[in-house]
Structure 1
């Protein structure tokens, strides 16, 4: 599964570390909330695809993948953000070198944010069956278009007489007139789902390097072209075909698309009066949000900002996000979550940042030190064990710990911990962390 994204389309809920697939807005079978990523992994299991899942993602998103999926998946992390072709090569090399997969093994590549139904996975099974029968080197899923979208690539086909169609032409995100013509000619949307044998990608990797290990591939990652899998592989494939999928499928990558699939019109601390119609409101803040007399709008509030837009213009937000120079104010990590409470920048170059850390019971923050900041931890609730320069002590509500620059520290939560962290220094960034090994007993 490919997990990436810049987090612009669903701002202010999404950001560079919390892209759309991580937003817990969809209704789960138990009535709770789940993300697109959690939903698609659940569906894979429900469809009876009892196969190992590997998620290829960026370093900034690794923790949130682990936080949401735990040990259900393997995670392969890009050393730097690049396009889908190098990401797929990296994941394939991991399967070959680290997991010792047979080169003849069938591999499926798919996005982790498709909003679809279980018959989608029956289509994937047919794709794998065609690969195993050597019907083509590369199989793709084709979606029957339901409008003249310019947001997707198109695949023109010819009938093969079987359960699939030979791919004869690929058109990447056409203009509206070309899209209309392609739809009238029976072309399919490219769903971004591919099946092939592992050796297919390993042979392509040899074009760029003769790798002997996964670590070697990862160390040479920058040598692979920063190009999409569609451009580098799909459009150049000598033997490719599609399996059509005619069931429900939707890309929830815009506010208008997402709102159409939400179970309720509001989420969070929201109050409506009877003069609100066709408006969706999502409030992640602790303060109440009251709406009156607003129709056909999207209102979204998070620690990163507030969006107020008509449903006919709300999808334009992605074009303006770069105008906001705000760091992510909320992040999910493998150990829990944090949110920024306050930030003060002084004229002399000194900075103070206050966070609320929530560490899940049984999880721990890594053993680390900082070169540019000191920290004060105030334990608000819970119980745990703190390590400071190799010395361990138990901590609980009311304890206050001062951590100077260059001092090693870590904390393990025995019960859910809430910590108020005050950072102070000349440079306050997430990159100012040097990690070390610590074995918790």
Structure 2
């Protein structure tokens, strides 16, 4: 069996920590077995490793999440990168074609699809192994995992069993789905033995490959990438699940949560405070998450979440926090914090002057042994000031060692790169007419290849 994790989303429901560059699955607010802060994707990938499934796992994602996935999981995790976002059916179809034409996975192999961010026990992933056996036993088009509800909720979809055709206690035959009913309707569905739909599907590889062929699209990975825009922009639910004739589901009665709001996420945090600040005595059910370098004090409050990042500050009653997406859609600012394969950066200041000149100031951290790509810009110059650590700096094929206090001038069109010998922090000031990502021309990313280009070594 092979597993495809779906990593997508723009993360507005956990603003201000989540943004278009850092979706909710990348927020390091949970705790691992060593007591270190970890993200949802790190937790899930670690659990797959615990049950022996990580080697059979690939991640389907968008271009915007590649760098942060490399940062949090390492560069050895196989990624299927969508050329553009087209919803879940094209993403799953692309992953299936990759497994078929690149990995040479047999067409009768069972493939499981699951979100990258469920909060579950390790036993949940053992259910994935059972899906393979159920698919082969029942010859079903799809096999799902359904969670036994602990309470009537309007936040989840429901799997409705076909009682007449359910011939075993191990699985149910699915009659239909109901998406996010009212709590009153949810109570009635639970009385009918309905299950929460947790977004986990399994199928034989040939089932999806046939659907790609039916659209007139190629089943060779590189060819499909070129024609990816020909996919309809449609979810897997609408394109596949609603049209499947034979669906079964495995009931799961362990812990399962969708940590999609501050209310549900803070329930699973092991600490009430992350970052600088103080929560005074007497506060009840208050969580403070602060990514800023300034302290925050919370006094005389209850049932409150206070979250602060370079993108903004949220102060909300926990039950009302689920409504945040309605309000922040009006904010059209660029992400002020991003994680990359080499480390992270935080925007400190941005100014646009009347004459059309812009300045952008960043604080950049490059991890030990990592490097920025060898690149050049035609719309801006840069000044880098080293504030911590030591490293190697390349400018127009000349190599220099750098240390705290060094100021590095990078004129327009100059080729440049930097590597951390230790963890390295710099303040970068950009100055130019257009401070945009498209003005980055990457010439090389491998540091050894960059060094091979260098002519002079200066201490």
- Tell me the TM-score range normalised by the shorter chain: over 0.9
Q: 1:279 to 1:223 in 2, by over 3 A?
A: same
Q: How many residues align?
A: 441
Deviations 1:357-386 (A, max 9, x none): 111111111122223222111122222222
Residue 72 (structure 1) shift:
5.0
Correspondence for 1:151: 155
Residue 253 (structure 1) shift:
0.3
Cα separation, 2, equivalents of 1:265 and 1:180: 33
Could you tell me whether the CA contact under 8 Å between 1:52 and 1:73 is conserved in 2?
no
Residue 134 (structure 1) shift:
5.3
Cα separation, 2, equivalents of 1:242 and 1:52: 22
Aligned to 1:81, which of 61, 79, 85?
85
Q: Judge which range, 140-149 or 179-188, deviates more.
A: 179-188
Could you tell me whether the CA contact under 8 Å between 2:40 and 2:117 is conserved in 1?
yes
Q: Is 1:3 paired with 2:7? A: yes
Aligned to 1:359, which of 342, 358, 366?
366
Q: Is 1:92 paired with 2:99? A: no
Q: 1:288 to 1:228 in 2, by over 3 A?
A: same
Aligned to 1:431, which of 425, 434, 438?
438
Cα separation, 1, equivalents of 2:269 and 2:437: 33
Deviations 1:98-139 (A, max 9, x none): 222222222111101100101211211111222244531211
Q: 1:384 to 1:99 in 2, by over 3 A?
A: farther
Correspondence for 2:453: none
Cα separation, 1, equivalents of 2:107 and 2:429: 51
Cα separation, 2, equivalents of 1:396 and 1:76: 38
Cα separation, 2, equivalents of 1:439 and 1:147: 52
Deviations 1:284-328 (A, max 9, x none): 111111111122211111111100111231221111111222211
Q: Judge which range, 159-168 or 8-17, deviates more.
A: 159-168
- 1:289-438 alignment, distance < 5 Å: 289-437=296-444
Cα separation, 1, equivalents of 2:136 and 2:75: 28
Cα separation, 2, equivalents of 1:138 and 1:68: 32
Correspondence for 2:31: 27
Correspondence for 1:18: 22
Q: 1:276 to 1:50 in 2, by over 3 A?
A: closer
Q: Secondary structure at the match of 1:431?
A: helix
Aligned to 1:58, which of 44, 56, 62?
62
- 1:250-289 alignment, distance < 5 Å: 250-289=257-296
Q: 1:161 to 1:275 in 2, by over 3 A?
A: closer
Cα separation, 2, equivalents of 1:67 and 1:426: 31
Q: Secondary structure at the match of 1:218?
A: helix
Correspondence for 1:239: 246
Correspondence for 1:107: 111
Q: Secondary structure at the match of 1:203?
A: helix
Q: Is 1:208 paired with 2:215? A: yes
Q: 1:177 to 1:272 in 2, by over 3 A?
A: closer
Correspondence for 1:226: 233
Could you tell me whether the CA contact under 8 Å between 2:213 and 2:219 is conserved in 1?
no
Q: Is 1:174 paired with 2:178? A: no
Cα separation, 2, equivalents of 1:100 and 1:437: 31
Q: Secondary structure at the match of 2:56?
A: coil
Cα separation, 2, equivalents of 1:251 and 1:133: 30
Cα separation, 2, equivalents of 1:278 and 1:135: 49
Cα separation, 2, equivalents of 1:343 and 1:50: 41
Residue 232 (structure 1) shift:
0.6
Q: Secondary structure at the match of 1:107?
A: strand
Cα separation, 1, equivalents of 2:216 and 2:386: 51
Structure 1: stretches of 5+ with no match in the other structure:
none
Residue 176 (structure 1) shift:
4.2
Q: 1:415 to 1:183 in 2, by over 3 A?
A: same
Cα separation, 2, equivalents of 1:62 and 1:209: 29
Cα separation, 2, equivalents of 1:297 and 1:117: 27
Cα separation, 2, equivalents of 1:216 and 1:200: 20
Residue 75 (structure 1) shift:
1.2
Cα separation, 1, equivalents of 2:330 and 2:297: 27
Q: 1:392 to 1:102 in 2, by over 3 A?
A: farther
Could you tell me whether the CA contact under 8 Å between 1:367 and 1:409 is conserved in 2?
yes
Correspondence for 1:46: 50
Structure 2: stretches of 5+ with no match in the other structure:
449-459
**TM (normalized to structure 2)?**
0.92
Q: 1:269 to 1:141 in 2, by over 3 A?
A: same
